[in-house]
Amino acid sequence: PLELVQLDVARQQTALAAGDVDAVIARLPVDRERWHAIALYDEVPVVVMTADASLSVAERLAASDLAGEVLIVPADDVLDLAATAAAWPVERPRFAPPASTEEAIATVAAGVGISVVPMSLARLHHRKDITFRELDGGPLAPVGLVWPREDAHPLIDAFVGIVRGRTARSSR
């Protein structure tokens, strides 16, 4: 049987190392000396804002559209915004970063600023008082299947084959 377990980004590799899970769908990159990884897709970034924000009238946004906005970057920043957003015309908050993306989105909902996160995280933590728009040219969030190089579950090769699209009649 295949059991799905939701893990925070910070716990993905720890759970894999501890043997709590056999494989994870994780944010890339990972240490390729320790883990096998197959890139699955790149997730698009979105700007999270209050539902009544002036930015919400646009269908898509560019970094230049964010001028003067307070950018809230959570401590679990999966887009590495600390480096990427340095050139954006945004303001930095005068408070410590929220510990998680969920807390950053709650801060945005309070009307304090905006946040940039992968679309799946914006959807996961969606609330009635926020909305989001795609950020053109923003940092992508690569996602992949990751499993241990050593002591992998005996069926992991079959699972990886399925992920790669192989069937019982396919040859390697």
User: What confidence score (pLDDT) does residue 153 get?
Assistant: 85
Domain of 109: which CATH number? 3.40.190.10
Number of domains in the chain: 2
User: How many other CB atoms are found less than 10 A from the CB of residue 139?
Assistant: 18
| Residue 131 domain flag | yes
Say yes or no: 85 and 15 in one domain: no
| Residue 80 domain flag | yes
| Residue 97 domain flag | yes
Helix (H) or strand (E) holding 25: strand 24-27
| Residue 15 domain flag | yes
Confidence grade of residue 172 (pLDDT, cut at 50, 70, 90): low
Tokens at 31, concatenated:
């240490």
| Residue 66 domain flag | yes
| Residue 168 domain flag | no
Say yes or no: 61 and 36 in one domain: no
Contacts of 65 (CB under 8 A, 6+ apart): 55, 58
Q: Would you say residue 123 has pLDDT above 80?
A: yes
Query: Which letter, b or e, does each residue of 60-87 get, where b requires 16 or more Cβ atoms within 10 Å of its Cβ?
Result: ebebebbeebbbbbbebbbbebeebbee
The most confident of 7-11, 16-20, 65-69, by mean pLDDT: 65-69
Say yes or no: 133 and 156 in one domain: no
Q: Distance (Å, rounded) from C-alpha 155 to C-alpha 153?
A: 5
Q: Would you say residue 91 has pLDDT above 90?
A: yes
User: What confidence score (pLDDT) does residue 146 get?
Assistant: 94
Residue numbers of the domain that contains 94: 45-139
Q: Would you say residue 132 has pLDDT above 70?
A: yes
Confidence grade of residue 161 (pLDDT, cut at 50, 70, 90): confident
**Quick check: pTM over 0.75?**
yes
Q: Give all strands of the β-sheet with 115-118 in edge-to-edge order.
A: 60-62, 130-136, 45-50, 115-118
| Residue 2 domain flag | no
Confidence grade of residue 60 (pLDDT, cut at 50, 70, 90): very high
